[in-house]
Chains A and B, each alone.
Chain A
Amino acid sequence: MRWPWIVLLLSSNVLTAIVILSMKSSVFNSSSPQRSSSASDNMLTRQLLHHPSAEKMSHTIEKFSEPILRPLSTIRTTKSQIIFAITPTYVRDTQKVDLTSLCQTIMHVQNLLWLVVEDSDMKTALVSDVLDRCKVESVQLNVYTPPGKKSISSGVDQRNLGLGWIRRYCSNQTNCTGSVYFMDDDNKYDLRLFEEIKKTQQVSVFLVGFCGGMRAEGPICNRNGRAKLWNAKWQPKRSLPIDMAGFAVRVELIVAKPNALIGVDKFGKQSKLGYLESDFLGNFVNRDMVECRGNNREVLVWHVRTQKPRIRYLPNLKRAG
């Protein structure tokens, strides 16, 4: 930090000093030693940068690092249906709690690939430790969303990064069959949900508990497996009034449409609040074509949050939560 003062002393003109200082600050920000390899070499980044709405997301793509894979030692059979579960996560008090609990749930599910995408510029030790201990096949990614530039809702960039990783992974692999599911870290899941997700043929939707101001928001199925009614009272005119955790999309559809991202609809327009899911699924199906899964009597995924813990006495910062 000695540079600014030296420049001021040497330059007689204050204006030139300011210009030089502003140039220096940008150099400082990008040449930090903790950043990993540069993003431009990465094929994934190049794919994202050439996307039509890439300019809006370019501030997030620059801060990008290589994914960490934690594969299992067991060999997956070639025709098994994989569930690609994308989990965006961010730093908060209850992050470790939620991730640990989610890990315990996932350990019961076979053939699930857990993509954890952190909202940070580096991979944090907390998430790395949780994933090290967790006996689940996982991929750790990260992309930073600056607080001032958060889009409609949190986790959009992280989910898109997960989708991009899946597209890249499936372009290299031949046994890429299954579904993509957005698994938020604070939600709770019944194990029967994953059996329903594996049966997805195109896009399947299910009820989500405690969502949209109701006990359960989502489709009411008829006997043919189509959504007869939609149980939704908050913005019911959306084409698909469900939560992010209420649908699963087939991987082949995701790979076939590389321009389908969360936050933009199929015409490239930005989504409004609450329309993320409708706009994303509008790339693949209509309202009538979705497969309705789950029985109408029970809810298999709940949109809950872990309450922010009441920490009233602050001087306990040396302990990790």
Chain B
Amino acid sequence: MDSINQPPYLSDPDRYDSNYHQFNVYSSHQNSRRISPRHTIIESPITVQRRTQSQLKLKKLLGRFGLLLANSSATSVYANCSIASERNSCEVASVRTMMNFDLDSSSACWTMSHTNLTITGQCSHSTESSTTTSQPSVRSIFAITPTYARYTQKVDLTSLCQMAMHVQNLVWIIVEDSSEKTDLVADLLDRCKVTSVHLNVRTPPSYRPRPGADRYKEMYSRGVKQRNLGLGWIRKHCSIVKNCTGAVYFMDDDNKYDLRLFEEIRKTENVSVFPVGFSGGLKVEGPTCNKERRAVSWHAEWGPDRPFPIDMAGFAIQVTVLLSKPDVWVGFDELGEPTQRGYLETSFLEKFTSRDAVECRGNDREVLVWHVKTQKPWILYEVNNPTDDHFEV
């Protein structure tokens, strides 16, 4: 992150802390007023590697946790679990999360449960797993979702959560546009059974739209800083965890996705693009594919001269490709100047690939992602006098 060609906004004081521990849900007391007493945090980077199923060894390994737990009132321990590579051993997702340890004494298996993710170590040779994401043979998808406070924020995030629960091995990175983590998003992620990472960063005032300004005439794109924070998290996460593979996808909270899209995203080798519905003033905007997965033609009416005339939700990039260029960020070019509106995708993608070298996924007959928005609700009453401030809509 401390490279010479740093985008100018990264030197802002309210950027993410370079300390990796700050990235997590309840990572710091100062940042989050969300912490309830039961989630006292003890940071302890213990690596749990399991190669045998003996209960004794497990207890010994986790005995250290037991001591910690016994000595303090904490009921949860923050730890890092790495993947155990043996086929018979328990396999754990390599996401750093806060976990509660419960050792099941009746069997050699242990359960790690956490508000966002429940991983059950299956010590038997059973093939099915009770969790949704503990299958490392399936490639993971890192979905970055910038979100901001508005009436329809909870609606969109709830709907997105229900969709994300169907996707295997999805790491949902939510980045709020706020100076502190809000209860709304934190509670939603508690309930939502998706592996998620909750981050926040506030857009600096000069990049925020003026109140009452027309959205289509704004100078700067929205969600740039949040997406970059997500990219930064992925880069940091993959520097710590080995065998970091998967696809990175920018999943906006108001768009709608078909579940088949994620199967296409998973197959990304380099950079893949797909057509997006209702984007750019068209019914469908994006590439037309041929059988060899090459983009034959690009259908776009708004800015057709752009090297990549697609929407932010129309491409996915492999993590290794992203890591090969650590200085590339969304929304800024080489000189650190912000890109003009509408050229976010182009300025980002042209650093990695060219128009002819992208993989074109998705069939021509169907669109798998739609760039829609939830209509602003008509709230006539209660605008100036909301009945209850603690009411969460």
* Bound CA span A93–B392, Å: 31
Q: B373 within 8 Å of A by Cβ?
A: yes
| Residue B258 is within 8 A (CB to CB) of chain A in the complex | yes
Q: Given the complex of chains A and B, what is the CA–CA distance between A209 and B379 in angstroms? A: 10
Q: How far is the CA of A307 from the CA of B215 in the complex (A)?
A: 15
Residues of B within 8 Å of A320, CB to CB, are 365-367
Asked if B5 lies at the interface with its beta carbon under 8 angstroms from chain A, I say: no
**Closest chain A residue to B301, Cβ basis:** A313
Task: Name the contact of B283 in the complex, choosing from A231, A299, A321 (C-beta under 8 A).
Answer: A321
The answer on a CB contact under 8 Å between A307 and B374 is: yes
Question: Do A210 and B377 touch across chains, with their CB atoms under 8 A apart?
Answer: yes
For A294-307 the 0/1 string (1 means CB < 8 A from B) is 00111100111111
Task: Name which of B15-23, B49-57, B133-141, B158-166 contacts chain A.
Answer: B158-166
**A93→B155 CA distance, assembly (Å):** 21
A310 adjacent to B281 (CB under 8 Å)? yes
Q: Do B372 and A215 touch (CB < 8 A)? A: no
Other-chain residue from B366, B367, B374 in contact with A306 (beta carbon distance below 8 A): B374
Interface residues in B292-340 (C-beta closer than 8 Å to A): 299, 301-302
Q: How large is the interface on B (under 10, 10 to 19, 20 to 34, 35 or more residues)?
A: 35 or more
Assembly CA distance A15 to B352 (angstroms): 76
Q: Shortest distance in angstroms between B292's beta carbon and chain A's nearest beta carbon?
A: 21
Residues in B neighbouring A311, C-beta threshold 8 A: 278, 281-283
Of the listed stretches B102-110, B201-209, B380-388, chain A binds B380-388
Is B172 in the interface zone, CB < 8 Å from A? no
Please state if B375 and A215 are interface contacts (CB–CB under 8 Å). no
Give the residues in chain A near B154, CB-CB below 8 Å: 302
Decide: A105 and B162 in contact? CB cutoff 8 A: yes
Q: Chain A interface residue count: which class?
A: 35 or more
- A306-321 at interface with B (beta carbon < 8 Å): 306-307, 309-313, 316-317, 319-321
Closest residue of A by beta carbon distance from B371 = A309
B391: chain A residues within 8 A (beta carbon): 215-216, 296-298
A107 part of interface (Cβ distance < 8 Å): yes
Q: Mark the stretch among A21-29, A60-68, A96-104, A247-255 that contacts chain B.
A: A96-104
Cβ-based interface call for A108 (8 A): yes
**Given contact pairs A100-B256, A307-B372, A321 touches B277 in the complex (Cβ within 8 A):** yes
Q: Is A94 an interface residue (CB 8 A)?
A: yes
B256 is contacted by which of A101, A210, A216, A298 (Cβ under 8 Å)? A101
Is A97 a contact partner of B393 (Cβ separation < 8 A)?
no
Cβ-defined contact, A214 with B282, below 8 A: no
Determine if B375 and A107 form an interchain contact, defined as CB atoms under 8 angstroms apart. Answer: no
Chain B residue contacts of A97, Cβ below 8 A:
256, 277, 370, 372
Are A309 and B278 within 8 A (Cβ)? Answer: yes
Task: Name the B residues within 8 Å of A293 (CB-CB).
Answer: none
SS of A interface (majority) = loop
Closest approach, in angstroms, between the C-beta of A214 and any C-beta of chain B?
A: 5
B377–A304 touching, CB < 8 Å: yes
B151 CB within 8 Å of chain A: yes
Contact assessment for A305 and B375 in the assembled complex, using a CB-CB cutoff below 8 Å: yes
Residues of chain B lying within 8 A (CB to CB) of residue A302: 152, 154-155, 393
A93-B278, A100-B258 known; A210+B393 contact, CB < 8 A: yes
Decide: B155 and A188 in contact? CB cutoff 8 A. Answer: yes
Task: Tell me whether A210 and B151 are in contact in the complex, defined as CB-CB below 8 angstroms, given that A307-B373, A313-B301 are known contacts.
Answer: yes
- Assembly CA distance A317 to B365 (angstroms): 12
Asked if A190 CB lies within 8 Å of chain B CBs, one says yes
Within 8 A of A (CB), among B218-258: 256, 258
Interface residues of B in 343-371 (CB under 8 A from A): 364-367, 370-371
The distance in angstroms between the C-alpha atoms of A214 and B281, with both chains bound, is 32
- CB <8 Å contact, A312 and B159: no
CB of A159, distance to nearest CB on chain B (Å): 22
A316 partner residues in chain B, CB cutoff 8 A = 282-284, 299
- Which of chain B's residues have a CB closer than 8 A to the CB of A304? 152, 155, 374-375, 377
What A residues does B376 contact at CB under 8 A? 307
In whole angstroms, what is the CA distance A183 to B372 when docked?
20
In the bound assembly, the distance between CA atoms of A316 and B370 in angstroms comes to: 15
State whether B278 touches A214 (Cβ < 8 A): no
Evaluate contact between A305 and B258: CB separation under 8 angstroms.
no
The residues of B that contact A105 with a CB separation of less than 8 Å are 159, 162
Q: Which residue of A lies closest to B387 (CB)?
A: A231
- Within the complex, the shortest CB–CB distance from A234 to chain B, in Å, comes to 8
Question: Is residue A233 within 8 Å, beta carbon to beta carbon, of the partner chain?
Answer: yes
Question: Are A101 and B163 touching (Cβ within 8 A)?
Answer: yes
Q: Which of B364, B367, B375, B377 has the most CB of A within 10 A?
A: B377
A91 within 8 Å of B (CB atoms): no
Query: Is the pair B379, A213 in contact by a Cβ cutoff of 8 Å?
Result: yes
CB-CB under 8 A for A298 and B392, given A108-B165, A188-B158, A215-B382: yes
B60 at the interface (CB under 8 A from A): no
Q: Is B259 part of the contact surface with A, judged by Cβ < 8 Å?
A: yes
CA gap between A214 and B378 in the complex, in Å: 8
- Docked Cα-Cα span, A227 to B189, in Å, equals 30
CB distance from B139 to the nearest CB of A (A): 21
**B residues in contact with A209, CB < 8 Å:** 155, 377, 393
Asked if B373 and A213 sit within 8 Å, CB to CB, the answer is no
| B393 contacts across to A, CB distance below 8 A | 209-210, 215-216, 299, 302
* CB-defined contacts of B390 to chain A, threshold 8 Å: 297
A191 proximal to B (CB < 8 A):
yes
The reply to whether A108 and B256 form a contact with Cβ atoms under 8 Å apart is: no
Can you sample 16 A-B contacts with CB below 8 Å?
A93-B283, A94-B372, A100-B256, A108-B162, A188-B159, A191-B162, A210-B151, A210-B379, A216-B391, A234-B380, A307-B373, A312-B281, A312-B301, A319-B283, A319-B364, A320-B365
**A-B contact sample (11 more), CB < 8 A, given A215-B393, A297-B390:** A101-B256, A108-B165, A190-B158, A210-B152, A215-B387, A233-B380, A302-B155, A303-B377, A307-B375, A309-B372, A312-B281
Could you tell me which A residues sit within 8 Å of B by CB distance?
Answer: 93-94, 97, 100-101, 104-105, 107-108, 188, 190-191, 209-210, 213-216, 231, 233-234, 296-299, 302-307, 309-313, 316-317, 319-321
